[in-house]
Amino acid sequence: MNFWLELILKLVAILGFVLTGALVVIYAELKAGSHMQSRIGPYYAGGRWGWAQPLADGLKFLQKEDLAPAAADRTVYGLAPYVVMMSTIAVFVVIPFGPDMVGRDLDLGIYFVLAVSSLSVLGILMAGWSSANKYSLMGGLRAAAQLIAYELPLVLVSAAVVIQAGTMSLNGIVASQAQTWFTVGGVDVSAPFLIKGQIIGFTIFMIASVAELSRIPFDMPIAESELTMGYLTEYSGIRFTMFFLGEYAAMISLSAIAATLYLGGYAVPGVSGNILNVIGPGVMLAKISLLVFIFIWIRWTWPRLREDQLQHLAWRWLIPISLANIAVISIFKVAF
Amino acid sequence: MLNQYYGDYVTVAIFIAVGALLVGGAVGASKLLAPRRPGDFKDVAYESGIEPVGGGWNQSHIRYYVFALLFLIFDVEAVFIFPWALQLDTFQAVGRGVFILVEMFIFVVILLVGLIYAIRKGVLKWE
């Protein structure tokens, strides 16, 4: 197929998926969160179960005045949501939904994801600094310290997956999970990395993801009761919406990465070839939904950590454990 | 015709550009729809409803810089681990698996000692 035509088709498909996905996740969070707290949540918008609530919110935000404090650094203040959204969208380039259902199967794969997704720290720091507001500044600094502290466990456990798979390409990682692990009575058994010794890696990946998303129990950068809204305090209207949308899109992308690295991605045992392009996206979607639900579940049932407890957890526990994880995985790789 | 190599760059560049366009489009649409009536009190920084005391760029505690330094060290370490991880198979194929493993362990342990030093020094303890 023509390169440009293919690119445009993939672009439209991925963009559509990201935006609808983000809206669906926002609705799921409103609804699931309220049921976990014995409320009913949105009820009126759209006529039935309040299904149109995220859309209505978006439309409302679109019509709100886009304020900036007089003292703010307006250029940086305006550019911050761009940086966040650019890094969020760029991650979706490499996420595979099938052997050919992928924006572009970069050789760098997981490395590209980690590099690009950490760019959003820059946007958050820009937002916090440029607002000329004490809450924003503190929120921005907290966010930066938190995101870099949890970036490390995320990177290190991903490195353990790369060691096991022997490739950084996400398609390659899926393929190596679909390989035959062992054969029992003539039946080839394949297993995702979660079962093949990466359970600690998966746990750390999920904990670090929650922290990267600044969600409860790691939401000190926002911490309504202390910092109003952290680095988002001064943002209103559409720019706030962009941060909000980016956050939920990042939730989807991190879930998709976790599903690809640990849960076998789009692979289905015993199925290969073109048919995987058809059922792959469905399989992937199911796994993403499951992980997103876990994120929502954690958010609505856990209390918030204190700032120093959070740093303590990352530096004292997660980083040493993920280094040990690398050691164990690589010893097993060399020994067997 | 674009080959594999440039295709990667073009795809990533276009996705990033579309991310920017998305925000640009939304902000542009909002400019058309949203009212715009700047007033003195709207432009004051929010400080829980009272007049802000001092400027927004206050001095903040320097404790965060230690995390930045630690992060830098370990992030560079992680950058070294990835190529090593990819070459593990190659080295193992020529029978040097244990050698490359021990090499990396020495590297990681040196950095781990650094982390233990930082923890013992009390940089993670906040009073």
User: CA of B82 to nearest chain A CA: how many angstroms apart?
Assistant: 6
Residue A26: inside a domain, yes or no?
no
| Domain assignment of residue A174, yes or no | yes
**CB of A143 within 8 Å of any CB in chain B?**
no
Listed in sequence order, the DSSP H helices in chain B are 4-33, 64-93, 97-121
Structure confidence by residue, pLDDT tens digits, A230-253 = 788 888 888 888 888 888 999 999
The conformational region for residue A77 under phi > 0 = left, psi -120 to 50 = alpha, else beta, is alpha
Q: Is A162 inside a domain boundary?
A: yes
Asked, for residue A317, whether it belongs to a domain, the answer is yes
Q: Please, which residues bridge with residue A188 across strands?
A: A183
> What is the residue range of A107's domain?
67-335
Strand partners, A187: A184
Q: For chain A, first and last CA: distance in Å? A: 42
Residue A51 covered by a domain:
no
A91-103: pLDDT as tens digits: 998 999 888 878 7
- What would the pLDDT profile of A254-281 be if each residue is shown by its tens digit? 999 999 989 888 888 777 778 888 888 8
Whether A111 and B82 lie within 8 Å, measured CB to CB: yes
Q: How far apart are CA A45 and CA A52, in angstroms?
A: 5
Distance (Å, whole) CA A229 – CA B109: 40
Low-confidence ranges of chain B (pLDDT < 50): none
Round to whole Å and give the CA distance between A257 and B82: 17
Q: Does A336 touch chain B (CB under 8 A)?
A: no
pLDDT at A294: 92
- In the prediction, which pLDDT does A314 show? 85
The pLDDT, as a whole number, for residue A251 is: 92
Q: List own/partner pairs for B90-99 with CB under 8 A and 24 or more apart.
A: B92/A333, B92/A334, B97/A334, B98/A334
pLDDT confidence of residue B2: 58
Q: Mutate which of B4, B5, B9, B11 to disrupt the A interface (most A C-beta within 10 Å)?
A: B11
Give how many domains chain A has, as a whole number: 1
pLDDT value for B62: 65
- Assess A330–B contact: CB distance below 8 Å, yes or no: yes
Tell me whether residue A283 is in a domain. yes
Average pLDDT, chain A: 85
Name the nearest CA neighbour of A68 among A130, A148, A4, A134.
A130
In sequence order, what are the residues at sequence separation of 6 or more whose Cβ sits closer than 8 angstroms to the Cβ of residue A192?
A177, A262, A263, A264, A267
What does residue A182 show for φ and ψ, rounded to 5 degrees?
Answer: -150, 170
Which CA distances in Å does A247 have to A124, A243, A244, A302, B48?
11, 6, 5, 19, 25
pLDDT of residue B120: 85
- Angle A270-A272-A277 from CA coordinates, rounded to 5°: 125
Comparing CB atoms, the residue among B27, B48, B85 nearest residue A163 is: B85
**DSSP 8-state symbol, B52:** P
pLDDT at residue A227 in the model: 76
pLDDT at A174 exceeding the cut of 60: yes
Tens digits of residue pLDDT in A175-211:
888 877 777 777 777 778 777 788 888 999 999 999 8
Q: What is the ipTM of this complex?
A: 0.85
What separation, in Å, do the N-terminal and C-terminal C-alpha atoms of chain B show? 62
Measured CA angle at A161 (ends A157, A163), to 5 deg: 110
Q: What's the one-letter identity of residue A335?
A: A
pLDDT of A256: 92
Torsion sign across C-alpha atoms A65, A71, A74, A78: negative
* Distance from the B17 Cα atom to the nearest Cα atom in chain A, whole angstroms: 7
Q: Going along chain A, which residue ranges are E strands?
A: 182-184, 187-189
Q: Is A183 helix (H, G, I), strand (E, B) or coil?
A: strand
Q: Which two tokens stand for residue A191?
A: 């297993």
Residue A179 falls within a domain, yes or no?
yes
Tell me whether residue A58 is in a domain. Answer: no
Q: Between residues 98 and 127 of chain A, which touch chain B (CB distance below 8 Å)?
A: 103-104, 106-107, 111-112
Which residues of chain B neighbour A237 with C-beta distances below 8 Å? 30, 34
A140-162 mean pLDDT: 87
- Cα-based angle A30, A34, A36 (whole degrees, multiple of 5): 125
Q: Which residues of A touch B105 (CB under 8 A)?
A: 327
